[in-house]
Amino acid sequence: MSLTFHYHPLASFCWKALIALYENDTPFQPVIVDLGNEASRAQFLKLWPIGKMPVLRDDARDQTVPETTIIIEYLDRHYSGRTRFIPQDTDLALQTRLRDRFYDHYVHQPMQKIVTDRIRPAGSNDAHGVEQAKSMLATAYRMIDETMSANRWAMGEAFTLADCAAAPALFYANKVLPFEQTHANVARYLGRLMQRPSFARVVEEAQPYFGLFPQERPERS
C-alpha cells in the first residue's frame, strides 16, 4: 500500500485530512502516533522532526507530506476521486483556500488555545489569552452564520477543502464555546457536516478516545 497516514484519532487537525481520505475511499495504512510512548514518538520524529501531526507518507512517489492543507491538495492532485477539494476555476480555488485558512486560523486555533489552557498546570493558566480566543471565536461565528445563511457547504453546493477544515474546527469549538443557541446557521451547517459519511466515520472512530478530551475546570469559590 503506497500511502501511510500518521495521526491520532482524537487530534482535530488529523480529522481534517482523514475526512479527505474517507471522502474518496482512498486506500491507506493508518498508523496511530502516541507521543507519550517513547518508541512511537521516536519513530514519528524520525519521519517528521517537527513532531506535528498528521503526516502522510507516499512510498510510491517517495514523498513525505506534512500539514493538513497540503496533504489534502496532494491527495486532490495525485489521488483524486469523486470529491474534488480544490475547484478548477482559479478564482474559486483562491476563495476555497481562503476559507480553509479562515477555519484553521480563526476557529481551529482559538479553539485549541482554550483546550490546551485546560491542561496547563494549576497556576499557569492564561486567562487573558483564553478570553482573546473566545472573542475571536465569537467574531468567526458571526461571519460564518452570515455566510451559511445561503450556503449548503462552505463554498456553496460543492464539498471542498474548506469543509474538511470546518468540520473538526466547528465540532470542537462547539464544545468550548457553544453556538447552537446563538448562531442557528452555524449549528445547521455543523449538523450537515455530522451527517456527511466521511466525517461521521471520523467521529465514530474517535469515540473511544473522547474521555481524554480535557473538560473545563470548575471555578473555585
- Element of type H or E holding 202: helix 197-206
* More confident site: 208 or 220: 208
Which residues, 6+ apart, have CB-to-CB distance to 73 below 8 Å?
Answer: 85, 86, 161
pLDDT in tens, 24-61: 999 999 999 999 899 999 999 999 999 999 999 999 99
Residue tagged 457553544 (cell numbers): 178
Average pLDDT over residues 64-86: 97
The confidence score (pLDDT) of residue 173 equals 97
Catalogue the long-range contacts made by 195-200 (C-beta closer than 8 Å, 24 or more residues apart): 196/19, 196/159, 196/163, 196/167, 197/22, 198/19, 198/20, 198/22, 198/23, 199/15, 199/19, 199/22, 199/167
CA 199 to chain centre: 10
Nearest to 170 by CA among 188, 149, 197, 146: 188
Domains and CATH numbers, the chain: 3-78 (3.40.30.10), 90-196 (1.20.1050.10)
- Under 8 Å between Cβ of 190 and 170: yes
State the Cα angle at 87 between 63 and 30, rounded to 5°: 35
Average pLDDT over residues 96-118: 96
* More confident site: 202 or 119: 202
Return the bridge partners of 156, or none.
153
Nearest to 172 by CA among 9, 12, 16: 12
pLDDT in tens, 163-180: 999 999 999 999 999 999
- Under 8 Å between Cβ of 96 and 162: yes
pLDDT in tens, 170-215: 999 999 999 999 999 999 999 999 999 999 999 999 999 988 788 7
Tell me the CA distances in angstroms from 171 to 1, 11, 114, 202, one per residue in order: 31, 12, 14, 12
Tell me the CA distances in angstroms from 97 to 24, 128, 164, one per residue in order: 20, 30, 11
